[in-house]
């Protein structure tokens, strides 16, 4: 008996395909941990930000805290919700590593990742607008730049935006990765 030529789509194509899907599952897990760390660090950094400045005497002081502005409170809550979601989505990511052919979990993760992406983008963008005003001010509305007086406060709130925007980029990558993994199942 002679063996005929192997056509495309036949043969051992399922073993490498499963390996690629498992690799995508591992990358998904690592990206979720990275996004969790970034969003949690941003929430903690913003929530613990405050600075007190003395004014004339030691009895009169000006204090700046994150909860003085509702936008920063929304930022902390949004980052907290997204980091909790990312923590609770890790078992689903592990399930995708073990069962690389599972499609329903990936669809669920795409939907939830997109919702969390919207929430995180809203919180980070709103906080970025306030941070910009804190640094530059707005002469038309008589909002003066406060970062000349509150250096430590402004450095911390600016730094907390970095982790949040890293989380936004990682969530975009997670959505794209899950979409590619789903398209490979056909």
Query: Residue 158 above 70 pLDDT?
Result: yes
Helix, strand or coil, per DSSP, at residue 145: coil
In this structure, is residue 155 part of a structural domain?
yes
What pLDDT score does 39 carry? Answer: 95
3-state DSSP of 20-63: HHHHHHHHHHHHHHHHHHHHHHHHHHHHCCEEEEEECEEEEEEE
In this structure, is residue 10 part of a structural domain?
no
Q: In whole angstroms, what is the distance from residue 84 CA to residue 76 CA?
A: 12
In this structure, is residue 57 part of a structural domain?
no
Question: Number of folded domains in the chain?
Answer: 1
pLDDT, one tens digit per residue, over 37-81 is 999 999 999 888 866 655 656 665 566 666 778 898 999 999 999
What pLDDT score does 97 carry? Answer: 84
Query: Residue 152 above 50 pLDDT?
Result: yes
What pLDDT score does 34 carry? Answer: 95
Mean pLDDT, the chain, integer: 82
Q: Which residue range(s) make up the domain with 109?
A: 15-48+66-184
In this structure, is residue 162 part of a structural domain?
yes
pLDDT, one tens digit per residue, over 84-125 is 999 999 999 998 888 867 788 889 999 999 999 999 999 999
Pairing verdict, β 57-65 and 50-55: antiparallel
In this structure, is residue 178 part of a structural domain?
yes
In this structure, is residue 42 part of a structural domain?
yes
In this structure, is residue 5 part of a structural domain?
no
Angle among Cα 164, 165, 169 to the nearest 5 degrees reads: 120
Q: What is the pTM assigned to this prediction?
A: 0.81
In this structure, is residue 135 part of a structural domain?
yes
What pLDDT score does 52 carry? Answer: 62
What pLDDT score does 175 carry? Answer: 94
């Amino acid at each position: 008996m002679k063996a005929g030529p192997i056509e495309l789509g036949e043969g051992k194509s399922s073993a490498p395909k499963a390996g690629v899907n498992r690799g995508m599952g591992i990358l998904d897990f690592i990206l979720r941990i990275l996004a969790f760390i970034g969003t949690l660090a941003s929430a903690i950094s913003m929530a613990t930000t405050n600075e007190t400045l003395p004014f004339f005497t030691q009895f009169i002081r000006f204090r700046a805290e994150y909860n003085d502005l509702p936008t920063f409170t929304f930022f902390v809550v949004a980052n907290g919700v997204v980091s909790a979601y990312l923590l609770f989505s890790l078992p689903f990511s592990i399930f995708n590593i073990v069962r690389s052919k599972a499609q329903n979990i990936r669809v669920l993760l795409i939907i939830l990742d997109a919702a969390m992406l919207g929430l995180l983008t809203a919180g980070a963008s709103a906080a970025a607008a306030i941070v910009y005003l804190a640094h530059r001010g707005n002469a038309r509305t008589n909002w003066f730049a406060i970062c000349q007086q509150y250096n430590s406060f402004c450095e911390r709130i600016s730094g907390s935006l970095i982790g949040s925007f890293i989380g936004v980029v990682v969530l975009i990558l997670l959505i794209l990765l899950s979409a590619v993994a789903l398209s490979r199942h056909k």
